[in-house]
Structure formats: C-alpha cells, structure tokens
Amino acid sequence: MPLTSTDDIVGPAHAGNHGVGAFNVVQIEHAEAIVAGAELAELPVILQISENTARYHGSLAPIGLASLALARAASVPVSVHLDHAETQELVHEAVELGFTSVMFDASKLPYEANVAATRVITEHCHRADVWVEAELGEVGGKDGAHAPGVRTDPDEARAFAASTAVDALAVAVGSSHAMLTRDAVLDFDLISRLRDSLGIPLVLHGSSGVGDTDLAKAVAAGMKKVNISTHLNKIFTRTVRDRLEASASVTDPRKYLGPARDTVATEVARLLGVLAGR
C-alpha cells in the first residue's frame, strides 16, 4: 500500500467515533515494530519522528527516509509525521523528504507569537498538501503546555485554529510528556468542550501516562490522534535488558533488538485496538 496522507488516517477517525495511534520512532527497529503492529491489527498507523530524534541521528533524512520506505511497503495505511518541530528549517526539510504531516510546536511562545509562527508554517505546508498539527499552551517548564495544571481554553483554542488554519490541535487536558506511570488524570469534560468548540481533530500528547480505560474514554470524549512514545520505549528497553541479563555473552545486537522489536509490535497492535474501540 502506498504512503498514506495523515488526513486520510485522522479524517475518518474525526468523522467517526474512534481514535488512531501515532507512535514515535527513535531508531529503525521502532519503525519496523510499529508497522508490524499495525499490520497485525489490520489498522492504520502514524509513524512520528521528533526533532530530538532527528538531532540524535544527525539529521532528519536517515531515519525519515527509512520510515518512509517502511510506510510505502506496508500492507495497511501508514503516514509519516514530524513531531514537535520548533524550527521552520526542519519543517521545510520534512516537506521536501515527503512527510505527510508535521506538528509545529510554538507553544512556548506567547499566544500572538505562536499564532504568527504557526500561520507561516501552515501556509507553507498546505501549498505542498501537507497536514499540519499545532499545540496551544502557555510558556512553561520542560513539559510546556502539558505541565501539571496547565489547560487549554476552548475559546482561545477556537480562535487559534481559525487564525492559523491548522488541521489538528494538540491540547492540554491533564496528560504530561515522558510519564513512566499510567495514572494521568484527564479532564474529560474539557475534552468534550474542546471537541464542541473546534471543527478539527484533537490530539492527545503524553498518552503514555494514560491507562487503557482512560484512553478509550478520551477517544469517546473527542480525542482522535493519540501520541504514545515513552510507554513503548519502556517495553523496548525492558526486553533488551532482560535478554542481555539472560545471556551475558551475547554480542550480536539482533539477538536483543529483534525480540524488543517483536514485543513492541505486539503492544502497538493491542493499543491500536483500544483506540479503535475493539
């Protein structure tokens, strides 16, 4: 199946009553696992590459081109998304490489500056038929808009979406990035009010900190694109650690990265089912 537009994956979820999973790629094994999990579940999926991951690899192209190749070879719809980009240059590179969507994160800026910067990105991406996600929040600490206590205001979100013409909006409703436990407390009433205020899909960041039951409730309340990274990284790392501890003499990375990849694929398939309401 050819590389799929992110809009063709998120759009039907927005029109219907289900969610879609967007999982972060750190290295090629992650991308392979995510695609394999989607094929196992027979559901579409979004591969996400963050600005931090691009920096880790030295540039966006190595991991980006590998992810695009895997998406094009998949038997289910797969899109490739740039996550949490903070510079125009990286967004432009993603568009040139063939990414199907970008998430431009100017949430650390004051509101008017966020609007202005995001509008420039949206205009550039839409000329290339690339879907755009943005984040609305406040100047804050490491977690930005997802710092504890920060919430997205529905009226401000509606004005932001109208001013920037973004295709989806990441909103702060109680989750936080890089959580190691799945006990985040989401504001489901706020999710519903944001859904009713906006005509575009809502995106839940920090979803690794949300348990299965609340993921399903968040989708029912209005979340459509659900980002998960740390949860899968924990599973990947735990499997690698277990394999190395069980075989102290192993030197072939395939002996521990392969099982980690398989474990993540199984979890991706399971999570996609949760988000799809199965």
Whole-number Å distance between alpha carbons of 270 and 214:
15
- Residue 38 carries which side chain, given as an amino acid letter? A
The average pLDDT across 57-61 equals: 97
String of DSSP letters for 212-224:
HHHHHHHHHHTEE
- 83 is annotated as an active-site residue: yes
Whole-number Å distance between alpha carbons of 168 and 11:
10
Whole-number Å distance between alpha carbons of 241 and 223:
34
**211, two tokens:** 């348990």
Task: Please state the domain count of the chain.
Answer: 1
CATH of the domain at 142: 3.20.20.70
From 83, 105, 187, 214, the catalytic residue: 83
- Is 1 among the domain residues? no
- Is 65 among the domain residues? yes
- Is 113 among the domain residues? yes
pTM for the model? 0.92
Expressed as residue numbers, the domain containing 136 is 6-276
- pLDDT tens digit string along 11-26? 999 999 899 999 999 9
The average pLDDT across 39-59 equals: 97
- pLDDT tens digit string along 182-216? 556 678 889 999 999 999 999 998 777 677 888 99
The average pLDDT across 125-150 equals: 69
Whole-number Å distance between alpha carbons of 196 and 160:
15
Above 90 in pLDDT, residue 177?
Answer: no
- What is the structure's pLDDT at 136? 78
Q: How confident is the model at residue 139 (pLDDT cuts 50, 70, 90)?
A: very low
The average pLDDT across 228-250 equals: 94
